[in-house]
Structure 1
Amino acid sequence: MKKKGTIKTIVLIFVIVTASITILVGCESANKEIATIYLHLEKAANKESSLSKYQNELNNLQKEENKLYTSILNLKVTSKKIDPILDKARESLQKRQKLIQKENTIIENSYNEAKKIKPIMKKIDDQTLRNKTKKVANSINKRYEIYKKIYNLSNENIKADQKLYNYLQQKNIHITNYDKQIKKFNKDNKQLKDLKEQFNLYTKQYNKEKMTLYKAGNLKWSSK
């Protein structure tokens, strides 16, 4: 008997924080608190510069696992050819887990740098500038909160994948239990897709709001 059901692989591409391609130039009219905030936010953005690299590797691994899983579906439950394919899938799973951890480290480092603007924000006398800074800080926090949900769900999915691969290696698979696992997998991936869209939305909002803040603080740039 061949197994039924399909797994829908979600490709997650994060929109990263845009780092300024220019450098801050001293100017008497520039707000000194905003200038300090600029330095922290751009440093945080630079910490995310390698994020796209890990995401591409992650997506390639997920595509590879999907191909391996498709190969498994085309085999009979009792086929001995399943075992080496499952071994490759587990190997890919371990690589995926390591990449997720690296990705998490990048986001954590970036967030730890960006949140340094909070005490500086309290020193801003101009109410308009302070409100604009609050908007930036809120976008930073919301973006981080969404990412942590993505991170936690991704780790749960890895555990579920491991359980699924172990289940597929059994020779007495019950099709009902199998279908339940596939449905849960696809449901979690749909949730990941929705979270990714929220993350990208907050990132775009953050990029826009921080540039608005820089301009309001009379910061000036010149090309590197």
Structure 2
Amino acid sequence: MLSKKAQLLFVILLFIAGCSILPREQSLLSALEKLVEYEEEFNKQQKSLVELEKKEKEIYDRVMSLGMKQFSEISRLSKEALKIIEKREKRIKKEYDSIQMAKKQLEAVKTEISLLSDQLIKEDASHLVGLLEKRYMTYDELYNYYQQALQLEIDLYRMFQNEQLTLEQLEQQVVKINSAYHQIKKANEQFNRYTVQYNEEKKALFEKLK
């Protein structure tokens, strides 16, 4: 028979051993919370991008309201717009990087799901992963369209610095930009639909895991 001291030591060792082994559900929750951190960085960049896009739109409207006789003012405004586009490029790069980190974290989430014994939670978590994969795929399309649109806008503002710019050249470039933003709008709408679904399913899963 164990002495009282030995029994106490045995209980302490069992407690320590138990604390060192996290339940699989807790491990999954931790992996998902890490993914959410990257998503928060994405959201932060989104707000900054919207502000910069608004500023550039104001400059664009101002330029379009001027005639080429006011070339010096158009040239000045165009250079200002190019600086804003440069800031947008930096923001979109940070946004892109946060999504790439979230993609990598999603692989860790998949590993945790494969180790679950609770089949109901496993099914819900697997469905969430599938939804996220579609969402990230849509983001990749959105990012590519956005990059194309940025380059077209850069070309436009450089064209504005050419005093020999014709109305036909301007119209052709504006058509290209509008077409690019039409693609962005469609991809963004799909991305937002996936985001709404993701947030709903994520909330439901977190409630089950906590």
TM-score interval for Structure 1 and Structure 2 normalised by the shorter chain: 0.7 to 0.9
Aligned to 2:80: 88
Alignment: residue pair count: 188
Q: Mind listing any 5+ residue stretches in structure 1 that lack a counterpart?
A: 1-30
Greater relative contact order (CA < 8 Å, ≥ 6 in sequence): 1
Residues 148 and 180, structure 2, Cα contact 8 Å, conserved in 1: no
Residues 48 and 110, structure 1, Cα contact 8 Å, conserved in 2: yes
Task: Give 1:77's aligned amino acid.
Answer: M
The reply to whether residue 55 of structure 1 matches residue 46 of structure 2 is: yes
Aligned match for 1:44, one of 20, 35, 47: 35
Residues 124 and 130, structure 1, Cα contact 8 Å, conserved in 2: yes
Per-residue deviation, 1:187 = 2.0
Q: How far apart are the structure 2 equivalents of 1:86 and 1:161?
A: 10
With over 3 angstroms needed to count, the CA separation of the structure-2 counterparts of 1:133 and 1:48, relative to structure 1, is closer
Alpha-carbon RMSD across the aligned residues, in angstroms, is: 2.0
Aligned to 1:28: none
Q: Mind listing any 5+ residue stretches in structure 2 that lack a counterpart?
A: 1-21
Q: How far apart are the structure 2 equivalents of 1:74 and 1:132?
A: 54
Task: Show CA shifts across 1:158-193 (max 9, x none).
Answer: 111111111122222232232122122122212212
Q: Which has the larger radius of gyration?
A: 2
Give the 3-state SS of the residue equivalent to 1:195 in structure 2: helix
| TM-score where L is the length of structure 1 | 0.76
Q: How far apart are the structure 2 equivalents of 1:207 and 1:57?
A: 21
The reply to whether residue 175 of structure 1 matches residue 167 of structure 2 is: yes
Task: Show CA shifts across 1:46-105 (max 9, x none).
Answer: 233233332222111111111111121122224222111111011111111111111112
Query: 66-75 vs 51-60, which deviates more?
Result: 51-60
Residues 82 and 169, structure 1, Cα contact 8 Å, conserved in 2: yes
Task: Show CA shifts across 1:186-219 (max 9, x none).
Answer: 2221221222221121122122223333445xx3
Residues 51 and 103, structure 1, Cα contact 8 Å, conserved in 2: yes
Task: Give 1:52's aligned amino acid.
Answer: N
Aligned match for 1:159, one of 151, 166, 171: 151
Residues 75 and 160, structure 2, Cα contact 8 Å, conserved in 1: no
Task: Give 1:55's aligned amino acid.
Answer: Q
Aligned to 2:127: 135
Aligned to 1:202: 194
Residues 24 and 112, structure 2, Cα contact 8 Å, conserved in 1: yes
With over 3 angstroms needed to count, the CA separation of the structure-2 counterparts of 1:210 and 1:53, relative to structure 1, is closer
Percent of residue pairs identical: 28
With over 3 angstroms needed to count, the CA separation of the structure-2 counterparts of 1:173 and 1:52, relative to structure 1, is same
| TM-score where L is the length of structure 2 | 0.80
